[in-house]
Structure 1
Amino acid sequence: MRVFLVAGEPSGDRLGGALMEGLKTLIPDIEFDGVGGPLMAAQGLTSRFPMSELSVMGLIEVLPKFFHLKRRISETAQAVLDTQPDVLITIDSPDFSLRVAKVVKAASDIRTVHYVAPSVWAWRPGRADKMAKVIDHVLALLPFEPPYMERAGMECDFVGHPVASEPTATPAEISAFRSKYDLGDAPILLALPGSRRGEIERLADTFGEALKLFLKDHPSYRVVVPTVGATTDLVNALTQNWPGAPKVLDPRQMGAGLATVEKRAAFGTACIALAASGTVSLELAAQNTPMVIAYKLNWLTQKMAERMVKLDTVTLVNLVSETRAVPECLLNDCQPEMIAKALHDVINAPDVQQLAMNLTMERLGRGGEAPGLRAARAVLDRMQIKNA
């Protein structure tokens, strides 16, 4: 069996790596092709070009790269048509992924699967109907998503999220991490300004000012900043004036496995995290790390979002747990003073988020079959391919 996969950012690479591992478990002689990052490479994928070229979000950020992205869409779709895989699996990054699927569907009957349902329950519900024209099967991360996809005419399976099956940091991993970075017994604050260049550039100064205010009242805290390899140099440059002598984690200096262990240890030892909106809230919840979510957009993108977004929260922990336990400082509220106050409030009552984090992991499949294996089984079952 031959599978062509396309992922466009670190969270998609993570999903893709788990899915590939599951597929290899069920069909050991499976072959992979496509575009992905280091975690997919560790499962046997040789990416056709660097995945980081696709990690772009927001109208303003996309415009300068429009023609390059358009060329990559054409190249990727043609590679699918040339190789004629049994299935094309696109992973998140819908602006890129669904355009590739559209070209492929127009010229072939290759089966198409999209991993990560679009958030039609939050904004632009018409996307599901458009998606149904080019996608046969959706793998959903959230338990309430299948009805939206099925209503539009697509097959859909809730497969959970790989974060729910990942181990928590061990005391030995935490001890080794603290020793490596000379952190002693100091309380740790994680700062996570995003994985894309544009959002890091937008949030870095605001995060730095918020930390300055927070550390005035909590001077014993040390700041740790995990990064993805493609943005480590940018994060280093933008955090030089941050308070707290920040330790920037560089995954380029280690293999994917060690980088994962170190990131897990950083999350596990932290007392609190300040994070950009995104999948990272689930990673933090998996390690029982209380958090504050902060995010802002470029002016034009923000104005569009204000008109289209239908929910009062964007944090996945809040959505899955059906609570509002995780405080958010979004858009116009993404101000240093408001963020510092939210951090202070969470530090004073860290247990408030615990129930919501536990419930989120339970609903995403913790304790059950690994989501990557569930996703692989769903792909094969819908194709009626016999597992090994």
Structure 2
Amino acid sequence: MRYFLIAGEASGDLLGASLMSGLQQLDPEAHITGIGGPAMQDLGLQSLFPMDELSLMGIWEVLPKYRHLKRRIAETAEAVIAAEPDALIGIDSPDFCLRVARLVRARRPDLRTIHYVAPSVWAWRPGRAAKMAQVIDHVLAILPFEPPLMRAAGMTCDFVGHPVATAKIAGPEKAAAFRDSHGIAADAPVVLCLPGSRRSEVSRLAPRFDEALMRLRDRVPEIRVVLPTVPGVAAMVRDMTRRWPSAPIVIEDAEAKRAAFSAADLALAASGTVSLDLAANRVPMVIGYDMAPLSRMVIGWLLRTDTVTLVNLVSETRAVPEYLGRNCQPGPLAEGLQEVLENAVARRAQMEAMDLTMQRLGKGGEAPGLRAARSVLSAIREPQSR
């Protein structure tokens, strides 16, 4: 079969790669085209254009790029029509993917349209599900509570688990080797700094995160800071850290990042799927996030939940502390980090919440990418109800 996949950011690229692996396992002759990043390209995808052009979030961030994104939407829709796939599969990035699906649906109403990652209607803008159902037939959900919400809106939906639940975790030997290679003492706390995978996130959060970690270092001088990054923002991160008073260890290599996560004792992270990577490695965390003032105001009006951290949502706890919007400042972040680092009760609560999250996301079961591929094939074979 022929598939057209669209991923717009680093987390979507990883989901896309896991789906591609599953499709290739079930359908060795699968022909896959579309848009993706390094992980999908490693499996043979030739991206229509660089994926990082789509890695934008927030009204203020998107507005300057609006005309360019509109051209890319039209270009992608034309590429879908020309490719004549059996299914169009958008992976997260709903603002881009659903606009492409709408253009394609107008010209190819018979084409099966699938979206991987349900929109977070449980958090904000619940009307999005009904609007999405106008152009999407089937949804691959990565959170266990999402299928009923998607089905109620008129789409079919399967919970396929999350790849992080079955991802390869570096063992103690790799963690020790990482410490040795960077001259980190065995008893020195390793703190991960994770300011996001989008340029707008890094430019806004990295200075606050750095100042928070400097304040934590004043109180706990022995900490070592490690900053894992992704290709789309790696050059930007390295340039920024050269100007920091005490530059962290910046790593981009995938194996080194796995080792760093395994070696870590604590993390300061932007809100997003990285909290699940931390949970898989049992790294206690503090979450910080902010947006441009206009975006922050609009999202604040629409938000329907008291937490945005996936570990809290999936585990149905509030074990992971969050500092969002105006609260995302160096002082509160540093206080939160010290509390998690030194309070055994808080760390234990996070560990329990992280273990429960991994269990609910499919740990110990079939690989989510393979489950997602089975769901895609099933959806293609089902008669269309439209």
| Band of TM-score, shorter chain | over 0.9
Cα displacement (A) at 1:203: 0.7
Which residue number in structure 2 is paired with residue 269 of structure 1?
263
Which residue number in structure 1 is paired with residue 134 of structure 2?
133
1:75-124 CA distance string (max 9 Å, x none): 11000001110101000000000000000001002110000000001100
Output aligned runs, 1:289-368, within 5 Å.
Answer: 289-348=283-342, 349=344, 350-368=347-365
Counterpart code for 1:263: K
Cα displacement (A) at 1:250: 2.9
Q: Is 2:199 the partner of 1:197?
A: yes
Cα displacement (A) at 1:244: 4.7
Which residue number in structure 1 is paired with residue 234 of structure 2?
232
Cα displacement (A) at 1:352: 2.3
Which residue number in structure 1 is paired with residue 103 of structure 2?
103
Q: Is 2:383 the partner of 1:381?
A: no
Question: What SS class does the counterpart of residue 308 from structure 2 fall into?
Answer: coil
Question: What SS class does the counterpart of residue 66 from structure 1 fall into?
Answer: helix
Counterpart code for 1:295: Y
Q: Distance in 2 between matches of 1:104 and 1:89?
A: 12
Which sections of structure 1, spanning at least 5 residues, go unmatched?
252-258
Which sections of structure 2, spanning at least 5 residues, go unmatched?
none
Q: Distance in 2 between matches of 1:243 and 1:353?
A: 31
Question: What SS class does the counterpart of residue 121 from structure 1 fall into?
Answer: coil
Q: Distance in 2 between matches of 1:232 and 1:154?
A: 38
Say whether the 8 Å CA contact 1:221–1:244 is kept in structure 2: no
Question: What SS class does the counterpart of residue 366 from structure 2 fall into?
Answer: coil
Which residue number in structure 2 is paired with residue 4 of structure 1?
4
Which residue number in structure 1 is paired with residue 54 of structure 2?
54
Say whether the 8 Å CA contact 2:175–2:262 is kept in structure 1: yes
Q: CA RMSD in A?
A: 1.1
Say whether the 8 Å CA contact 1:178–1:184 is kept in structure 2: yes
1:139-158 CA distance string (max 9 Å, x none): 00100001111011001000
Question: What SS class does the counterpart of residue 222 from structure 2 fall into?
Answer: coil
Say whether the 8 Å CA contact 2:163–2:367 is kept in structure 1: yes
Cα displacement (A) at 1:168: 2.1
Which residue number in structure 2 is paired with residue 254 of structure 1?
none
The 10-residue stretch of structure 1 (143-152 or 181-190) with the greater mean CA deviation from structure 2? 181-190
The 10-residue stretch of structure 1 (61-70 or 183-192) with the greater mean CA deviation from structure 2? 183-192
Output aligned runs, 1:28-67, within 5 Å.
Answer: 28-67=28-67
Say whether the 8 Å CA contact 1:123–1:308 is kept in structure 2: yes
Which residue number in structure 2 is paired with residue 216 of structure 1?
218
Q: Distance in 1 between matches of 2:27 and 2:252?
A: 34
1:33-85 CA distance string (max 9 Å, x none): 00001111111111111101110111111011111111110011000001110
1:261-301 CA distance string (max 9 Å, x none): 22111111011000000000000000000000000111000
Say whether the 8 Å CA contact 1:295–1:334 is kept in structure 2: yes
Which residue number in structure 2 is paired with residue 18 of structure 1?
18
Q: Distance in 2 between matches of 1:342 and 1:182?
A: 27
1:183-227 CA distance string (max 9 Å, x none): 232320000000000011111111111111111111000100000
Cα displacement (A) at 1:127: 0.4
Q: Distance in 2 between matches of 1:380 and 1:182?
A: 49
Output aligned runs, 1:151-170, within 5 Å.
Answer: 151-170=152-171
Q: Distance in 1 between matches of 2:80 and 2:73?
A: 11
Cα displacement (A) at 1:182: 2.7
Q: Distance in 1 between matches of 2:90 and 2:293?
A: 30
Say whether the 8 Å CA contact 2:86–2:380 is kept in structure 1: no
Say whether the 8 Å CA contact 1:282–1:316 is kept in structure 2: yes
Q: Distance in 1 between matches of 2:42 and 2:240?
A: 30
Which residue number in structure 2 is paired with residue 149 of structure 1?
150
Which residue number in structure 1 is paired with residue 369 of structure 2?
372
Q: Is 2:252 the partner of 1:250?
A: yes
Counterpart code for 2:314: V
Question: What SS class does the counterpart of residue 329 from structure 1 fall into?
Answer: strand
1:165-193 CA distance string (max 9 Å, x none): 01221122213322333323232000000
Q: Distance in 2 between matches of 1:160 and 1:115?
A: 11
Which residue number in structure 2 is paired with residue 255 of structure 1?
none
Cα displacement (A) at 1:236: 1.5
Counterpart code for 2:230: V
Say whether the 8 Å CA contact 2:6–2:35 is kept in structure 1: yes
Q: Distance in 2 between matches of 1:51 and 1:266?
A: 25
Question: What SS class does the counterpart of residue 85 from structure 2 fall into?
Answer: coil
Counterpart code for 1:220: E
